[in-house]
Amino acid sequence: MKSTEEITSGKFAGTGPSIDVERVRRDFPLLEEKVHGRKLAYLDNAATTQKPRQVIDAMMQFYTSGCSNVHRGVHLLSERATANYESARSRLRRFINARDDREIVFVRGATEAINLVASSFGKAHVKPGDEILITGMEHHSNIVPWQVVCEERGARLRVVPINLAGELLVEEYEKLLNPRTSLVAVTHVSNALGTVNPVRHIVEMAHRNGTPVLIDGAQAVQHLRVDVQALDCDFYAFSGHKMYGPTGIGVLYGKERWLESMPPYQAGGDMITSVTFEKTIYAKLPHKFEAGTPDIAGVIGLGAAVDYLESLGVDRIAEHEHALLEYGTKVLQAVPGVRIIGTAPGKTSVLSFTLEGVHPHDVGTILDQEGIAIRTGHHCAQPVMDFFRIPATARASLALYNTREELDTLAAGLRRVAEVFN
Amino acid sequence: MSDLRELYQEVILDHHKRPRNFHKLEDANRHAEGFNPLCGDKIQLYLRVEDGIVRDAGFEGSGCAISTASASLMTEMLKGKTEAESEALFEKFHDLVTGKSMPDSASLGKLAVFSGVREYPVRVKCAVLAWHTLRAALQGSLERVATE
């Protein structure tokens, strides 16, 4: 049994046979695609991962032979759809080791999960003069909702600084915690830098201060095993499409007592027990937060994505990706002019970098011609770019199906970029 | 590679490495700021316009090769042109990079080197950032221009 810090620091011990990459690649139809006549090297997994056939088939099956609404109707199809939908919820609960299915709320993605907490927790628990504490490495989706709450509630947003390696300054965090801090919102893994934050420690310190913690897990669940009970976090948000599931679906985990204390986020059907014009009684958790017909096919697809990840083993995936990260770091550093941004010792498989004398946008265009898909830009983390005094980076982000060969292709591509520009 | 040379022509690479008029104009009477939120490109454009004629132009900022070279070549081309001629040039340039039409190269002059951009739709915004900023500067708009 690994300790939580071991798990969250990105270091992994061997856990049996490693992933057979050639075999898993065959599960992903898109990886066969050619781009500009070249073999595709898909290295933009932090933006979204490709989907395995198992996920695509599960959704296809729902639409071709199981389509019906959930939580309504007594007919067979509706019963079956409801069972499949709720079964996916249970699998997601097990996936992050939540205590109860009622703590798993389906949302559109991590962004909506954070907005839900910002809005509902904000209404119930944020008072004028309170402080909400975030960090300098957050994605815009874990900054802007809190700015809105602060504006609405007369609270103040405070930011924990980071260092040049891209690590959180934990001692500064501790200093910023105070009796006015009503919530800490922190990313588990930085999307722009790959840094794995010491979230267990962050939660512990916040709780000592009596402050609940929301963790943005959008870049974490697909890379390392997450146990929300071990972390003891109060909220955990993640998206399906970054963990091999469909777009438009995600999960908000919330401790039952917090979710119970919060008003609904949206109102409508499915989130009520009874409605009269005089009084409406809200449904119990999690349905209180799931107004309207949900993305049933998305939930079923996400359930299939969890099954897929579990079948490979998250620890084995992490091991494979960690080896790729080490190899990728080495081959990129060997390219003249490359500077890697984000050099924390505990990292997931994200390689953010700049190439001297060439803007990342130009790097991206030239690599694209070579069939290499990377992300360029500020990665929705403008404050991170400002901190490093760069306008943007190029980012290669690796997934379970990537290979060393693709990293060699990337390094060769970067040498071509230098050729074009010199 | 041949396609890439179409986009990254020598003139573009040269203006990227050694942008012309890359400075603030102390005696500017028009100024605008342009921003491409998608990639973070920023430009400050300065103009000195007298009697309806652009007498001098300069810019500062950071951006990719396409946006930097575009701003550099634009400031070169503008000098001596009337405001109306500058506007008309933008129209022609816009048609060129979006592939809407193929304007005669004589009227475009050096700007013809941007013809390769039409094959790269996501890069059109890079090419036109400076020009949108120009329009804002000529119209005296104080709002920051964003190409979104």
The average pLDDT across A128-142 equals 98
Dist. CA B30–CA A98, nearest whole Å: 60
A131 burial via Cβ count (<10 Å: 0-12, 13-18, 19+): buried
Asked if A377 lies within 8 A of B13 by C-beta distance, the reply is no
Chain mean position to CA A207 = 23
Asked if A369 lies within 8 A of B3 by C-beta distance, the reply is yes
Name the pairing type of β-strands A235-239 and A213-216.
parallel
The average pLDDT across A63-86 equals 94
Containing B125, the helix (H) or strand (E) segment is helix B124-139
Instruction: Tell me which chain B residues have a C-beta less than 8 angstroms from the C-beta of A362.
Output: 8, 64-66
- Would you call A380 a catalytic residue per the annotation? yes
Asked if A359 lies within 8 A of B123 by C-beta distance, the reply is no
- Residue B116, in any domain of the structure: yes
Number of structural domains found in chain B: 1
Closest CA to A354 of A311, A388, A405, A312: A388
Instruction: Tell me which chain B residues have a C-beta less than 8 angstroms from the C-beta of A421.
Output: 8, 13, 65
Name the pairing type of β-strands A131-135 and A156-160.
parallel
Question: In whole angstroms, how large is the CA radius of gyration of chain A?
Answer: 22
What is the percentage of chain B residues whose pLDDT exceeds 70?
A: 93
Q: Is the pLDDT of residue A312 over 60?
A: yes
In this prediction, residue A15 has a pLDDT band, given cuts at 50, 70 and 90, of low
Containing A61, the helix (H) or strand (E) segment is helix A53-61
Q: Is the pLDDT of residue A175 over 80?
A: yes
DSSP code per residue over B67-101: HHHHHHHHHHHHTT-BHHHHHHHHHHHHHHHHTS-
What residues of chain B, 119 to 138, have a C-beta less than 8 Å from chain A? 120, 122-123, 126
Write down the residue that tokens 């409801």 correspond to. A82
Chain A with chain B: Cβ pairs closer than 8 A: 54
User: Is the minimum CB–CB distance between B7 and chain A shorter than 8 Å?
Assistant: yes
Tokens at A354, concatenated: 């700049």
ipTM for this model: 0.88
Q: Is the pLDDT of residue A160 over 70?
A: yes
From the list A358, A365, A391, which residue is nearest B41 (CB)?
A391
- For residues A36, A41, A45, A48, the Cα torsion angle rounded to the nearest 10 degrees is 30
Instruction: Tell me which chain B residues have a C-beta less than 8 angstroms from the C-beta of A420.
Output: 1, 4-5, 8, 13
CATH for A4-51+313-421 is: 3.90.1150.10
From the list B1, B7, B64, which residue is nearest A359 (CB)?
B64
Amino acid letter, A28: F
DSSP code per residue over A14-30: --SSPP-HHHHHTT-GG
From the list A361, A369, A385, which residue is nearest B126 (CB)?
A361
Tokens at B127, concatenated: 């090419």
Minimal-distance CA residue of chain B relative to A422: B13
| Planar angle of CA A400, A402, A406, nearest 5 degrees | 170
Tokens at A235, concatenated: 């909220």
Other residues' Cβ atoms within 10 Å of the Cβ of residue B61? 21
Asked if A360 lies within 8 A of B39 by C-beta distance, the reply is yes
Dist. CA A182–CA A197, nearest whole Å: 20
In this prediction, residue B147 has a pLDDT band, given cuts at 50, 70 and 90, of low
- Residue B22, in any domain of the structure: yes
With H, G, I as helix, E, B as strand and everything else as coil, classify residue A360.
helix
Residues A272/A283, Cβ–Cβ less than 8 Å: yes
Instruction: Tell me which chain A residues have a C-beta less than 8 angstroms from the C-beta of B117.
Output: none
Dist. CA A186–CA A217, nearest whole Å: 9
Q: Is the pLDDT of residue A71 over 70?
A: yes
Amino acid letter, A253: Y
A269 burial via Cβ count (<10 Å: 0-12, 13-18, 19+): middle
In which domain, by residue range, is B110 found?
2-139
Q: Is the pLDDT of residue B51 over 80?
A: yes
Chain mean position to CA A187 = 9
Instruction: Tell me which chain A residues have a C-beta less than 8 angstroms from the C-beta of B124.
Output: none
pLDDT digit string, tens, across residues A266-296: 999 889 889 999 999 999 999 999 999 999 9
Q: How many H helices and E strands in chain B?
A: 6, 4
Specify the CATH number for the domain of residue B29.
Answer: 3.90.1010.10
Instruction: Tell me which chain B residues have a C-beta less than 8 angstroms from the C-beta of A363.
Output: none
Would you tell me which CATH number, out of the four given (3.40.640.10, 3.40.50.720, 3.40.50.2300, 3.30.565.10), belongs to the domain A55-310? Answer: 3.40.640.10
Dist. CA A399–CA A43, nearest whole Å: 8
Q: Is the pLDDT of residue A347 over 70?
A: yes
What integer pLDDT is reported at residue A17 of this predicted model? 80
Determine which one of A67, A150, A233, A380 is catalytic.
Answer: A380
Q: Is the pLDDT of residue B132 over 90?
A: yes
Asked if A361 lies within 8 A of B66 by C-beta distance, the reply is yes
- Residue B34, in any domain of the structure: yes
What integer pLDDT is reported at residue B2 of this predicted model? 53
Containing B107, the helix (H) or strand (E) segment is helix B105-108
The average pLDDT across A354-380 equals 95
User: Is the minimum CB–CB distance between B63 and chain A shorter than 8 Å?
Assistant: yes
Residues A124/A262, Cβ–Cβ less than 8 Å: yes
User: Is the minimum CB–CB distance between B69 and chain A shorter than 8 Å?
Assistant: no
Q: Tell me the CA distances in angstroms from A296 to A86, A90, A192, A239, A282, one per residue in order.
A: 10, 14, 31, 15, 21
Domain ranges of chain A: 4-51+313-421, 55-310
- Residue B18, in any domain of the structure: yes
Torsion sign (Cα): A32, A38, A42, A47 = negative
pLDDT digit string, tens, across residues B55-78: 999 999 999 999 999 999 999 999
How far off is chain B from A164, nearest CA to CA, in Å?
A: 21
User: Is the minimum CB–CB distance between B15 and chain A shorter than 8 Å?
Assistant: no
pLDDT digit string, tens, across residues A200-228: 999 999 999 999 999 999 999 999 999 99
A31 burial via Cβ count (<10 Å: 0-12, 13-18, 19+): middle
Asked if B39 lies within 8 A of A362 by C-beta distance, the reply is no
Asked if B40 lies within 8 A of A365 by C-beta distance, the reply is no
Dist. CA A232–CA A355, nearest whole Å: 40
DSSP code per residue over A123-177: HHH--TT-EEEEETT--GGGTHHHHHHHHHHT-EEEEE-B-TTS-B-HHHHHHH-
How far off is chain B from A421, nearest CA to CA, in Å?
A: 7
Tokens at A369, concatenated: 């011609």
Asked if B38 lies within 8 A of A391 by C-beta distance, the reply is no
Instruction: Tell me which chain A residues have a C-beta less than 8 angstroms from the C-beta of B17.
Output: 357
What is the percentage of chain B residues whose pLDDT exceeds 90?
A: 76
Write down the residue that tokens 């201060």 correspond to. A209
